[in-house]
Amino acid sequence: MSTEVKVPSLPESVQDATLVTWHKKPGDPVRRDENLADLETDKVVLEVPAPVNGIMGAQLIAAGTTVTSGTVLALLEEGDAPAVAKPTMAAPVAATVSASAASSVKLGPAAKRVAEERHVDPASVAAGSDRVSKQQLEKALDAPKAAPAAPLTAVGERQARRVPMTRLRARIAQRLVDAQSTQALLTTFNEVDMHALMQARSTYKDAFEKQHQVRLGFMSFFIKAAVEALKRFPVINAYVDGGDILYHDYYDVGVAVSTDRGLIVPVLRDVDQMSFADVERSIANYAKKGREGTITLDDLSGGTFSITNGGVFGSLLSTPIVNSPQSAILGMHKIQERPVAVNGQVVIRPMMYLALTYDHRIIDGKEAVQFLVAMKEGLEDPTRLLLQV
């Protein structure tokens, strides 16, 4: 008896997806809930689970094809999969899973299944980490062997490669172009003396981590400072909706995260009701999901304001682009020691430039500048954030 393998139901905001990779070939044994293929949308990669145990039958859709909800991708022949002798495969990683590797590297259920079935040593993929995801193992197995360089037909001939954009990269590109073509974007700057904040973090980070089992970073301070500033200047937390301005009385802050597939912006919801520890846990969880490729569409949906931190890559100053339909985005940058005047004396202080890009159609320069000043005040005197003054 044959069972159809279909594209799972896609959310309303996603019209179609691209079949990126088949993980099984016709004739391969399949276990229920095993991932058969990857579907890439303009936001995330979705898995196609096997509905039953059986044997992979005809694959009706080729990799690279655009599909919609309910499209039949393949057929499964139901029944217990026969035992198949696994050949020894030359792979870019070790051929067996050792007991020591299993004890030293943490694996989730999906990653453990890949390691056992395809004889991968997780330790050889971990690269110093204590955890390896299924995606990391599959990427190592599927990595092409280095091919000899193509001979040049003429001395000095230059080579070029054409690589199609992924759906995510294409969607990012389109959203950025749309934002610049539909909004009147302007950027204003200020700088923050990070001395007091860095001292506070240094003093309490160990106690904080011991109490809450999560590290105390700088992002929670910036998110909390942003929320207090948004409360004072609500238009920065608003959208343009046709001929109206849609104000939000809640604070869902998107935090840009860089992944192998591109930039994604998971959303921390109702941040005004979260503690510093809640914020840090949420950020750490999203970072982990981003690395493992398990970010969901719900994680990326919505958001009333965004923050991006180019400083982690060494950026000293930039003009971020608004994440449409939002009206503003805050850019954080590298902390750099610089000479500044404090109480009439020149001292060396750790300074950071802040940039606010905003839609000038509804946000005036005065409001943008005052927003950054409010953030500066909260960050340079962190006690204000706790007292909400």
For 93, residues 6+ apart whose C-beta sits below 8 A from its C-beta are 120, 121, 124, 125, 140, 141
Residue 348: other Cβ atoms inside 10 A: 11
**Neighbouring-strand partners of residue 187:** 357
Give every strand in the sheet of 17-22, ordered side by side. Answer: 45-49, 35-40, 17-22, 66-67
Other CB atoms within 10 A of residue 341 CB: 9
Q: How far apart are CA 111 and CA 101, in angstroms?
A: 13
44: closest CA among 291, 258, 264?
A: 264
Encoded amino acid at 15, one letter: Q
Per-residue CA distances from 231 to 24, 228, 247, 332 (Å): 52, 5, 11, 20
Bond from prior residue into 151 cis (ω within 30 degrees of 0): no
For residue 104, give Cα distances in angstroms to 98, 121, 247, 284, 366. 10, 11, 50, 22, 55
- For residues 317 and 339, give the distance between their C-alpha atoms in angstroms, rounded to a whole number: 17
- Residues 272, 291, 5, 120, Cα dihedral to 10°: -150
Cα angle, residue 300 at apex, residues 294 and 302 outer, rounded to 5°: 160
As annotated, the active-site residues are 360, 364
What gap in Å lies between CA 118 and CA 141, rounded to an integer?
9
User: Rounded to an integer, what distance in angstroms lies between the CA atom of residue 24 and that of residue 136?
Assistant: 18
